[in-house]
């Protein structure tokens, strides 16, 4: 009981201070569609993506995130479309976000394209007070709570086969997720994302790609994720990542076939929180259908 109360207090403290709001991902370079709608269709294939993340294993009520998305270019046009679902569970809360994305791409040179995107999201937030084991379940101040809130967002994505740079705001509207007697307890703030990466050819069989994701939220410290991945023989990937003042991560991935890629990431906290959990696990699967395999002359590393 004491552990649940402590976790609940810590969780809502983080909400009030606007710390982790949007679900966070270690392998963000493969899951860009969730934060930037301009990414939709940029891979030139019908791309289906599924990810499961278990955060802070061993800490009761810690975040568990599942996401599924699909995006594709529209043949004969400059449009791209995408749909995604993100389910985020933290303690007694359960949040589902269903998003629709649309992008429009312009060819700026022989190698570069720029895409503009819009996102529309339906968010359902649920609070299950019974999961806190209240002493008096009939207490009128301790009741289950649900709220629906719509949102819109936008992004821009400059990319080639070797590099990318994107800026996005997935949610323009600030909304109260939970109010207690008209007092705001959890309010979602605007999140700003800046993402970038580049692929270096070390030799004919090894490629190196550094990447960075920066998230800015009013009232919270700047979050910066830096990663370094190596791709061997266009099949096997290994890398490390660092979330500034938060965690150190290891990543591996394997290109099973032309259309199937699987990846795994493990995070270890660098803060005092490491004393209360055994790390975080993240696994994903990406499946793609190409219209014309012969057109894929350079493997996409993002």
User: Residue 179: what pLDDT?
Assistant: 58
pTM, two decimal places: 0.85
Q: Which residues contact 276 (CB under 8 A, 6 or more apart)?
A: 56, 58, 59
pLDDT at 260: 94
What's the length of the chain?
302
Residues 6 or more apart in contact with residue 211 via CB below 8 angstroms: 28, 29, 195, 196, 197, 198, 226, 227, 228, 229, 302
Distance separating alpha carbons of residues 159 and 221, to the nearest angstrom: 28
CATH number (2.40.160.40, 3.40.50.2000, 3.40.640.10, 3.40.50.300) of 1-289 reads 2.40.160.40
pLDDT of residue 132: 73
Q: What does the alpha-carbon distance between residue 183 and residue 148 come to, in Å, rounded to a whole number?
A: 18
pLDDT, block means (10 residues), the chain with 302 residues: 43 41 86 95 93 94 95 93 95 93 96 96 88 66 80 96 95 74 62 95 95 88 93 95 94 94 96 92 94 51 72
**pLDDT at residue 290 in the model:** 76
pLDDT at 34: 93
C-alpha triplet 150, 156, 161: angle, nearest 5°: 130
Q: Are 70 and 43 in contact (CB under 8 A)?
A: no
Q: Residue 168 CB: number of other CB atoms within 10 A?
A: 23
Both tokens assigned to 234: 């266009």
pLDDT at 21: 60
- What is the predicted pLDDT for the residue at 175? 73
Provide the pLDDT for residue 157.
97
Spans of all domains in the chain: 1-289
């Amino acid at each position: 009981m004491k552990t649940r109360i402590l976790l609940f207090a810590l969780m809502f403290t983080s909400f009030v201070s606007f710390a982790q709001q949007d679900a966070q991902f270690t392998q963000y370079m493969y899951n860009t569609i969730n934060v930037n709608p301009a990414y939709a269709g940029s891979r030139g294939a019908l791309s289906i993506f599924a990810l499961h993340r278990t955060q802070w294993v061993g800490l009761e009520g810690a975040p568990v995130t599942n996401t599924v998305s699909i995006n594709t270019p529209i043949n004969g046009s400059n449009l791209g479309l995408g749909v995604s679902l993100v389910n985020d569970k933290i303690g007694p809360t359960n949040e589902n976000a269903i998003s629709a994305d649309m992008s429009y791409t312009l060819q700026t040179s022989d190698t570069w394209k720029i895409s503009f995107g819009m996102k529309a999201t339906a968010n359902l937030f649920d609070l299950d007070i019974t999961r806190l084991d209240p002493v008096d379940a009939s207490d009128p101040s301790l009741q289950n709570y649900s709220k629906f809130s719509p949102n819109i967002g936008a992004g821009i994505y400059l990319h080639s086969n070797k590099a990318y740079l994107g800026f996005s705001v997935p949610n323009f509207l600030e909304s109260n997720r939970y109010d207690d007697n008209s007092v705001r307890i959890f309010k979602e703030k605007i999140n700003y994302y800046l993402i970038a990466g580049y692929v270096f050819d070390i030799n004919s069989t090894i490629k190196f790609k550094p990447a960075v994701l920066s998230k800015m939220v009013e009232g919270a410290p700047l979050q910066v994720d830096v990663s370094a991945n190596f791709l061997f023989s266009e099949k096997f990937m290994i890398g490390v990542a660092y979330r500034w003042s938060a965690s150190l991560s290891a990543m591996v991935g394997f290109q099973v076939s032309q259309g199937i890629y699987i990846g795994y990431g493990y995070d270890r906290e660098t803060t005092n929180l490491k004393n209360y959990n055994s790390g975080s696990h993240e696994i994903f699967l990406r499946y793609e259908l190409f219209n014309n395999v012969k057109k894929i002359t350079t493997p996409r590393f993002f």
